[in-house]
Chain A
Amino acid sequence: MTDLSQLYQQVILDHAKQRVGEGTLRAPSAHDRPAGFGSSHQVNPTCGDEITVEFGTATSTDPPLVWDGAGCSISMASASVASEMLLEQGVPGFRAAAPAFRELMHSRGRGEPDESLLGDAAAFQGVSKFPGRIKCALLAWVAFEDAIAQAETTKE
């Protein structure tokens, strides 16, 4: 497999197209935020990619998370994979995977992903060979970590 096809694995291209969690932000105003709600906006200043994620429910019919972003296939697929993990495994599963994902990203192509822990996120292994793309892969994860932390501090 070439470096390019390792980078753009089919799983990543699929997530970039069929994006889990992408939707319209609820964007409650600052004084109107329900308890247990967190929102985080992250920007990659080198390329202008950005994402806003919301975690926690404003009403009982709301999905537990939603995100909106503009960026490359790596950053959008990564947001989708992180969302899927949060929806399927909850915060504990995401929290267990996040450090492993970060470590994989900084492995310069030498990391061996733990697929049972990372699931689809293991497909991002090839990204770590491209230092310029690591930020793309981590953008949504940073945003979700931030939003979750906010949601936890506002719980009653």
Chain B
Amino acid sequence: MDPLETTRVRGDFPLLERTMNGRRLAYLDSGATAQKPTCVIDAEQDFLTRSNAAVHRGAHSLAVEATDAFEAGRSAMAGFVGAAVEEIVWTKNATESLNVVSYGFANASAGLGGSEAERFRVGPGDSIVVTEMEHHANLVPWQQLALRTGAELRWLPLTDDGFLDLTDLTEVVDASTRVLAFTHVSNVLGTVNDVPRLVERAREVGAFTVLDACQSAAHLPLDLRELDVDFAAFSGHKMLGPTGVGVLYGRKELLDALPPVLTGGSMITTVTMEESGFLPAPQRFEAGTQPVAQIVGLAAAVEYLSEIGMDVVAAHERAVGAAMLEGVASVPGVRILGPQDPAVRIGSVSFDVDGVHAHDVGQFLDAQGVAARVGHHCAQPLHRRYGITASTRASAAVYTDREDVDQFVAALRDVRPFFGLDRGTP
């Protein structure tokens, strides 16, 4: 029994019909970017064909229609992640979302934003805590904030089996900690982190929490209110939507106080030659023309996922992930990075092939029609922790099926022999 009806789902993704290098395409790079269902492609095209106009300005009917579509997208996204509508800020991507928060703190630390923003000030004697498994997008902006403000950057280390090592949690996150920024799911290890425990510790010491939800938003039911984080960031293109649009979530009272980073048109109340007042969230963070057609497409994507049901999506991907884990583990000379238990991770498996560099592994897989990610996956410290510079990652999405997994595992089995190494015994 396949509750998801994978065959029907795959029919919604025209790109999956392609062949690659003479083979059936097994697209296993959804962790980098997901393929798009027809409804998303159509929604974007329909908007541009029939409804395109400037939003939040102009009084003509077309502008009203475009604004309605734009704001309906915000409502759809808010409903999808358990947030209030005004807690959803559109950005270019998750990287921008995280930078809006970290630079917002930097602006507050420089005295911008008045007394309302004092709560975001960091400086010498304060600490900012991240983890060793962060994507560079949730590490480098915090390094920059530390450099700019004189705060200390700390991090929670990793265990050998791919979990956050929380042994010293109370020492690392202490009374000096102002920000705890961490990922919901590791983009390399697939590990689902213990968000409640981290949030609880941050609350105890009065630190703000910033969640990178890029690898969870399209794969697990996500309720940001229930997770109780202060800020969260994720991108549209990883969740079946178009590129060019990301989301910043923040508690309303925090967003209204955080100094904006991008300033200019559409985010102001009154402007004189001397000074300007800013709108409340979300508009205060949406300076300039927004990616309206992409937002309309992203709204179609979350409606598509909601229709299937994120619990069904998660169960499907857990089954696919379990098959991938089992398949990869059965190939001699291959080491899986991260937890071996499919119940504590998403359907994304990174691995190291003994004696063959990840780039060469990916090239060989590509020749067999398998699209996998190779390299450091924007997580160099994580790879350094496990003694490697790069790995290969096969990552699933709602449309991934057993045939993808079988094609991938069969190709992986031939990698070491192709490069003149033992096939070995399992």
Contact = CB atoms under 8 A, between A and B. Distances in A.
Interface of A: 2-4, 7-8, 13, 17, 46-50, 70-76, 130, 133, 136
B359 A49 contact: yes
B376 to A, nearest CB: 4
B357 interface: yes
Contacts of B359: 47, 49, 71-75, 133, 136
B419 A47 contact: no
Contact of B389 (A49, A73, A133): A49
Interface string B339-382: 00000000000000000111110011001000000111000100
A73 B420 CA distance: 12
Contacts of A130: 363
Contacts of A72: 357-360
20 contacts: A3-B21, A8-B360, A13-B419, A13-B420, A17-B420, A47-B375, A47-B376, A47-B390, A48-B375, A48-B376, A50-B389, A71-B357, A71-B359, A72-B358, A72-B359, A72-B360, A73-B356, A73-B357, A74-B359, A133-B359
A133 B363 contact: yes
Interface string B369-410: 000001110001001000001100000000000000000000
A46 B378 CA distance: 9
Q: Which 9 A-B pairs have the closest CB atoms?
A: A72-B359, A72-B357, A48-B376, A47-B375, A4-B367, A48-B389, A73-B360, A72-B360, A70-B389
Contacts of A7: 363
B375 A46 contact: yes
Interface of B: 21, 356-360, 363-364, 367, 374-376, 380, 383, 389-390, 418-420
A70 B357 CA distance: 9
B13 to A, nearest CB: 24
Given A47-B375, A71-B357, A72-B359, A4 B389 contact: no
B374 A73 contact: no
Contacts of B420: 13, 17
A46 B376 CA distance: 8
B374 A47 contact: yes
A13 B363 CA distance: 14
Given A17-B420, A49-B359, A72-B358, 14 more contacts: A2-B367, A3-B367, A4-B363, A4-B364, A13-B419, A47-B375, A48-B380, A48-B389, A49-B357, A49-B390, A70-B389, A73-B356, A75-B359, A133-B363
B378 to A, nearest CB: 10
Contacts of A4: 363-364, 367
B390 A48 contact: yes
A70 B63 CA distance: 55
Identify which of A17, A49, A50 gathers the most chain B CB atoms within 10 Å of its CB.
A49
A76 B419 CA distance: 14
A127 B356 CA distance: 17
A133 B366 CA distance: 13
A49 B376 CA distance: 9
B419 A48 contact: no
Nearest to B421: A17
Nearest to B390: A48
Identify which of A46, A72, A76, A133 gathers the most chain B CB atoms within 10 Å of its CB.
A72
A130 B389 CA distance: 22
Contact of B358 (A8, A17, A47): A47
B102 to A, nearest CB: 22
Contacts of B383: 48
A74 B360 CA distance: 8
Contacts of A2: 367
Identify which of A3, A17, A48, A133 gathers the most chain B CB atoms within 10 Å of its CB.
A48
Nearest to B367: A4
Contacts of A70: 389
Nearest to B379: A48
B413 to A, nearest CB: 16
A145 B383 CA distance: 29
A120 B376 CA distance: 30
